[in-house]
Amino acid sequence: MDKFNEIRSTMFRGRRLRKSPALRDMLREHEVRVAELIYPIFVVDGDDVVEAVPSMPGVNRYSVDRLEPLVDEIVARGIKCVLLFGIPAKKDAVGSGASDPNGVVCRAIRTIKLRAPELVVIADVCLCEYTDHGHCGLVHEGRVLNDETLPQLAKAAVAYAAAGADIVAPSDMMDGRVAAIRAALDAAKLVETPIMSYSAKAASGYYGPFRDAAASAPGFGDRQTYQMDGTNGREALREIAADLAEGADLVIIKPALAYMDVLKTASERFDVPLVAYNVSGEYAMVKAAAANGWLDERRIVLENLRGLKRAGAQLIITYHALDAARWIKEV
C-alpha cells in the first residue's frame, strides 16, 4: 500500500477525462460524418417492384420506376452518395446486359440524376449479375478468363459514365481492369470520371446475403482464382499499389471488419482515399443479433463505423447508412 501511495500522485488516470458526457464528446478522436457514408442500392429489372431481401432485413430490391421515394429519403437524410448494383431480367454467357445503355443500371442512373442531380452516383462494374454462370468474368472450359474479360468491363464502365454515373467501381478482381477501364473512359472523353477500385477484395464468406440480393452466386466453383485469399495482408497492399499504378482514384478494402489491419496499414502507406466496404454478411450478423435482442443495433453500428474510421477509412459503404445517418444526427 505504501508503494501504491507513492505512485498515486503520478499514475495515469484515464478516468479523469471520462467523467462527463461533455468531456467524452470533446475528446472523441473519431466521428463518422453522414457525408462519409455510401448507400448501396439493388436495382432490378421490371415494373413496380419493391422486394425485401430476406437475408438483409431493411434492404429491398427496387425497379427503376419505384426508386424515386428511396432517392428522396436518401437525400433527406443527408447522404451524398449511392452505389448501384443491377439485376437484369436476362443473363447470358458474356454478361452483355452489363453494358446495355437501356439496361437496368443505366436507366437507374438517369432516373436518379434527374431526381437528385447532386447525389453522387457510383456504378458497380462487374459481370457476375449479368452472366448465366454467375462468374465475374468470361468463362472458357470451366476457367474464368482474365484478359478477354477486360473489354467487357471497360464497355460497361463507359456505358455507366456516359449515362451519368459520377464514379465507376470495378469489383470483378480481374488483373489489369483499372488500366483497361481508364483507357476506355479517356478514349470516350470521360477523363473526369474517377475509378473507385475494389482493390483488396477477399474471397469471403461475408458476401452470402449479397449474392441472394443480386442473384449473382457462381453456378459452378467459387471465386478463389480471382478474389484474394483473405489471409494475405501483404498481398492486399500489393493489389492496392497495382491499382493505384493503373490509375485508381479511390480504393476499396472489402470486407471491412475482419480486415481492419489492411485498412490501417494502407492508410499509413498510401496517400489516397480509402473506402471500407461494410459488406452484406457484416450487416446481416448485426441485424440478426439485434432482432433477437442480443445486441443494441444502434450502439453496434456506430461502434463498427467509428472503428472503421479509426482504422483509416475515409468513406464507408454500408447498408446501415440510412439508419446511421439518423443516429449520427441525433447524437
Q: Which residues pair with 92 in a beta bridge?
A: 131
Dist. CA 268–CA 242, nearest whole Å: 17
Q: Residue 124 binds which entry of Zn ion, ligand PBG, none, with Cβ cut-offs from 5 to 8 Å by kind? A: ligand PBG
Nearest Cα to 278, choosing from 321, 244, 235? 321
Check residue 229 and report its DSSP letter: P
State the nearest-atom distance from the C-beta of 135 to Zn ion, in Å. Answer: 7
Considering the complex, what minimum distance in angstroms separates the CB of residue 253 from ligand PBG? 13
Give the binding range for Zn ion (CB under 5 A) out of 72-80, 106-114, 134-142, 196-204.
Answer: 134-142
- Is 254 one of the catalytic residues? yes
Cα separation values, 116 from 35, 224, 239, 288, 307, Å: 15, 38, 34, 33, 31
Which grid cell sits at 235?
Answer: 498481398
CB 232 within 8 A of CB 258: no
Between CA 27 and CA 45 the distance in angstroms is 48
37 binding Zn ion? (CB under 5 A):
no
Interface with Zn ion includes 136 (CB under 5 A)? yes
45 in Cβ contact with 51 (< 8 Å): no
- C-beta closer to ligand PBG: residue 126 or 179: 126
CB closer to Zn ion out of 226 and 319: 226
Nearer to ligand PBG, 14 or 128 (CB): 128
Residue 152: which of Zn ion, ligand PBG, none does it interact with, CB under 5 to 8 A by kind?
none
* 204 Cα distance to chain centroid: 14
Q: Please, what is the minimum distance in Å from the beta carbon of residue 286 to Zn ion?
A: 24
Binding residues vs ligand PBG (CB under 6 A) = 124, 126, 128, 136, 171-172, 206-207, 210-211, 216, 223, 279-280
Cell of 69: 421515394
> CA 123 to CA 170: how far, in whole Å?
8
Report 100-129 residues binding Zn ion (CB under 5 A): 126, 128
Instruction: Give the interface size with Zn ion as a residue count (CB under 5 A).
Output: 3
For Zn ion, the closer CB: 128 or 262: 128
Show the beta-strand stretches assigned E in the chain.
37-44, 50-52, 60-63, 81-87, 120-125, 139-140, 143-144, 167-170, 196-201, 250-254, 274-278, 315-318
Minimum Å distance from CB 174 to Zn ion?
A: 10
Of the residues 91, 155, 254, 309, which is catalytic? Answer: 254
CB of 258 to ligand PBG, least distance (A): 13
Closest approach, Cβ 16 to ligand PBG, in A, equals 42
Give which of Zn ion, ligand PBG, none residue 62 binds (C-beta under 5 to 8 Å, depending on kind): none
Question: Which 311-330 positions form the footprint of Zn ion (CB under 5 A)?
Answer: none
> Measured between alpha carbons, how far is 77 from 278 in angstroms, rounded to an integer?
19
Given 155, 201, 287, 309, the catalytic residue: 201
Interacting residues toward Zn ion by CB under 5 A: 126, 128, 136
Which residues have a catalytic role annotated? 201, 254
